[in-house]
A = this chain, B = another copy of it.
Amino acid sequence: MSPRGRRPAGTDTRAEIVHAASRVFASKGYQAASLRGIARDAGVDPALVHHYFAGKRELFVEAMRLPFDPAERIGAMVAGPPEQLGERIAAGFFAIWEVPESRERFVALVRSAVSDDDAGRMLREFVAREIVGRIGAAAVSPDGGERAALVASQLIGLAMLRYVVRVPQVTDVPLARLVEQVAPTLQRYLTED
Known: A114-B111, A124-B167. A154 touches B154 (CB 8 A): yes
Given known A124-B167, A167-B127, contact A156–B148 (CB-CB < 8 A): no
Known: A115-B111, A169-B128. Contact between A153 and B146, CB under 8 A? no
Tell me if A44 is interfacial: C-beta within 8 Å of chain B: no
- Closest residue of chain B to A149 (Cβ to Cβ) is B169
Chain copies in complex: 2
Asked if A168 is an interface residue, CB under 8 A from chain B, the answer is: yes
CB A178 to nearest CB in B, in angstroms, measures 8
- Pair B157/A169 contact, Cβ less than 8 Å: no
**Interface residues contributed by chain A, number (CB under 8 Å):** 41
A110 contacts which chain B residues (CB < 8 A)?
114
User: Could you tell me the distance in whole angstroms from the C-beta of A111 to the nearest C-beta in chain B?
Assistant: 5
Residue contact A157 to B153, C-beta cutoff 8 Å: yes
Q: Is A191 an interface residue (CB 8 A)?
A: no
**Which residues of the partner chain B approach A149 to less than 8 Å between Cβ atoms?**
161, 167, 169-170, 173
Query: Does A96 have its Cβ within 8 Å of any Cβ on chain B?
Result: no
Contact A181 B150 (CB under 8 A): yes
Interface centre among A110, A136, A156, by most chain B C-beta atoms within 10 angstroms, is A156
CB of A128 within 8 A of CB of B160, answer no
Q: Are A165 and B120 in contact, with the CB atoms below 8 A?
A: yes
> Which of B145, B165, B172 contacts A124 (CB under 8 A)?
B165
The 9 closest A-B pairs by CB, nearest first: A157-B157, A149-B169, A153-B157, A156-B157, A153-B158, A145-B169, A114-B114, A149-B170, A115-B115
